């Protein structure tokens, strides 16, 4: 059974790679992670979605990620989820707590709409207190305007 699933996954990846020549080749590490593990979620699904400056609406690129997250989470129901909202440093501390909360909540709403029970999902905002990457340039800020789906 597991073999079939793995085969199907590989086939799916080949199919995706063939369809979108713009996409990079599938992550080679995927063959070494256990399906259903935290590593599997991070590497093969993607644990984070990014936001535009001062915005908390999920972008279209983020929707793809969240759709995959929802599918995966429905398959592996043993995980509780905490969504961490973050902001870049280009805002004020207090406001950013609220903005991070709003971002985390947008992701929660999206996942709930996709059928994940709200009771499985917690949210927490880190405002601009815990940047994912250091640095004071647009590249760093773009990485830090993020909501990360953490599994427990």
Query: Which residues of the chain form contacts with another protein (CB under 8 A)?
Result: 54, 56-57, 82, 89-95, 97-99, 101-102, 104-106, 109-110, 112-114, 122-125, 129-136, 150, 152
Residue with tokens 């929707």: 63
- Can you tell me whether residue 30 is helix, strand or coil? helix
Closest among 56, 58, 63, 50 to 141, alpha carbons compared: 50
Supply the minimum distance, in Å, between the C-beta of residue 83 and another protein: 10
Structure tokens at 14: 């080949």
Q: Where are the beta strands (DSSP E) in the chain?
A: 48-50, 81-85, 121-125, 146-151
Supply the minimum distance, in Å, between the C-beta of residue 51 and another protein: 13
- Can you tell me whether residue 149 is helix, strand or coil? strand
Residue with tokens 């830090």: 144
Residue with smaller CB distance to another protein, 57 or 71: 57
Residue with smaller CB distance to another protein, 13 or 151: 151
Residue with smaller CB distance to another protein, 13 or 140: 140
124/126 Cα distance (integer angstroms): 7
Supply the minimum distance, in Å, between the C-beta of residue 23 and another protein: 24
Residue with smaller CB distance to another protein, 44 or 103: 103
Supply the minimum distance, in Å, between the C-beta of residue 130 and another protein: 7
């Amino acid at each position: 059974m597991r073999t079939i699933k793995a085969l199907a996954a590989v086939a799916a990846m080949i199919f995706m790679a063939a369809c979108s020549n713009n996409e990079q080749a599938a992550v080679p590490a995927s063959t070494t992670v256990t399906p259903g593990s935290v590593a599997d979620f991070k590497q093969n699904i993607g644990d984070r979605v990014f936001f535009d400056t001062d915005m908390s609406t999920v972008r279209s690129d983020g929707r793809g990620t969240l759709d995959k997250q929802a599918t995966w989470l429905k398959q592996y129901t043993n995980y509780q989820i905490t969504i961490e909202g973050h902001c870049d440093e280009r805002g004020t501390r207090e406001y950013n707590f609220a903005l991070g909360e709003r971002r985390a909540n947008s992701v929660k709403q999206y996942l709930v709409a996709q059928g994940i029970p709200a009771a499985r999902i917690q949210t927490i905002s880190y405002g601009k207190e815990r940047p994912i990457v250091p640095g004071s340039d647009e590249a760093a800020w773009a990485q830090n305007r993020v909501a990360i789906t953490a599994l427990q």
